[in-house]
């Protein structure tokens, strides 16, 4: 089976360290949120990310085992600071 590439939204400090508000990663066809994290870790600057950043799939917090399919909206969520 073919893999696919997907954009990952990044915000705040994570966008600063990765140098962009959106990065693109290559995923296997049976990808999970954990695979997104692994792929992001290979990017320049990713050594400054924390050990396990939160990830959201389709605007909901996702477990690392959650499947990611082509067309899903994927984002890395830094520690929040609203209020």
Q: Which residues of this chain interact with other proteins, rule CB under 8 A?
A: 9, 11-13, 16, 52, 54-56, 59-64, 75, 77-83
Nearer to other proteins, 4 or 15 (CB): 15
Nearest to other proteins of 39, 74 (CB atom): 74
Phi, psi of 30 (to 5 degrees): -100, 40
Contact, 34 vs 62, CB < 8 A?
no
- Distance CA(46)–CA(17), nearest Å, equals 7
Task: Kindly tell me which of 26 and 48 has the beta carbon lying closer to other proteins.
Answer: 48
């Amino acid at each position: 089976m073919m893999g696919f590439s997907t954009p990952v939204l990044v915000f705040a400090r994570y966008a600063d360290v990765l140098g962009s508000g959106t990065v693109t990663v290559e995923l296997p066809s049976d990808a999970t949120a954990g695979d997104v994290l692994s792929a992001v870790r290979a990017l320049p600057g990713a050594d400054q990310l924390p050990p396990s950043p939160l990830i959201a799939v389709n605007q909901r917090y996702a477990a690392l085992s959650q499947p990611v399919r082509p067309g899903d909206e994927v984002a890395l969520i830094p520690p929040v600071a609203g209020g």
